Amino acid sequence: HGTVVVTVMSNLGFHRAMDAAGIRVVTTAVGDRYVLEALDAGGYSVGGEQSGHIIYRDLATTGDGLLAGLRLAEFVHRHHRPLADLAAGVMTSYPQVLVNVKVAERHPHIAEELAAEIAAAEARLGGEGRVLLRASGTEPLIRVMVEAALDDVARSVADNLAATVRARWA
């Protein structure tokens, strides 16, 4: 199908590499259950999470590290080149900063509540990064994730947003 399913935590560099290769990216909420739902809904073959859970829908319904490793080994064998050569230049990973902020209670609509602050942070990135704020599904945390072309910019923007979250809800 020329489509891969990933979560919102996937690196911006991955999205840009897929776009350059003509591969469509479907983005879901965090969790392999959401990846699986999108795979099934669209009839797609492969999807995964940044954590390394890769689902090959034609063979399994869950992430399987051994299967992913075997598929990678098969790919390398078929192309008769070292993996380092095959992977060189495919993707430039953007620096990604993740700050977990403990909060007194869950805030499932954090992105809406901080829309102005997020818009200001995105403006600072100038199209060369992205901002994601989301409530943890398992803990009383707000996860602040920022990607930018430069690590120090990502860190600064993430720290500023985390400070805003702490000031309001910690």
Mean pLDDT of 8-14: 95
With a CB cutoff of 8 Å and minimum separation 6, the contacts of 5 are 25, 26, 27, 28, 35, 38, 39, 42, 44, 46, 47, 48
Query: Per-residue pLDDT for 137 more than 90?
Result: no
Tokens of 77: 């064998």
- Would 3-87 and 96-169 be classified into the same CATH topology? no
User: pLDDT by residue (tens digit) across 15-59?
Assistant: 999 999 999 999 999 999 999 999 999 999 999 998 889 999 999
- Per CATH, is 96-169 categorized as 3.90.550.10? no
Q: What are phi and psi of 116, to 5 degrees?
A: -65, -40
Q: Is the pLDDT of residue 143 over 80?
A: yes
Instruction: Give tens-digit pLDDT for 74-121.
Output: 999 999 999 999 999 899 999 999 999 999 888 778 888 899 999 999
CB 98 within 8 A of CB 145: yes
Report the pLDDT value the prediction gives residue 21, as an integer from 0 to 100. Answer: 94
Using alpha carbons, select from 28, 30, 1, 25 the residue that is nearest to residue 13.
25
Would you place residue 1 in the very low, low, confident or very high pLDDT band (cuts 50, 70, 90)? low
Q: Structural domain boundaries of the chain?
A: 3-87, 96-169
Using 50, 70 and 90 to split pLDDT, how confident is the model at 138? confident
Burial call 141-153: b when 16+ CB within 10 Å, e when fewer: bbbbbbbbbeeeb
Reported pTM: 0.86
The predicted pLDDT at position 159 comes to 98
The fold of 3-87 is Alpha-D-Glucose-1,6-Bisphosphate; Chain A, domain 3 (3.40.120)
Residue 96: which H helix or E strand, with range? strand 96-102
Cα separation of 42 and 36, whole Å? 10
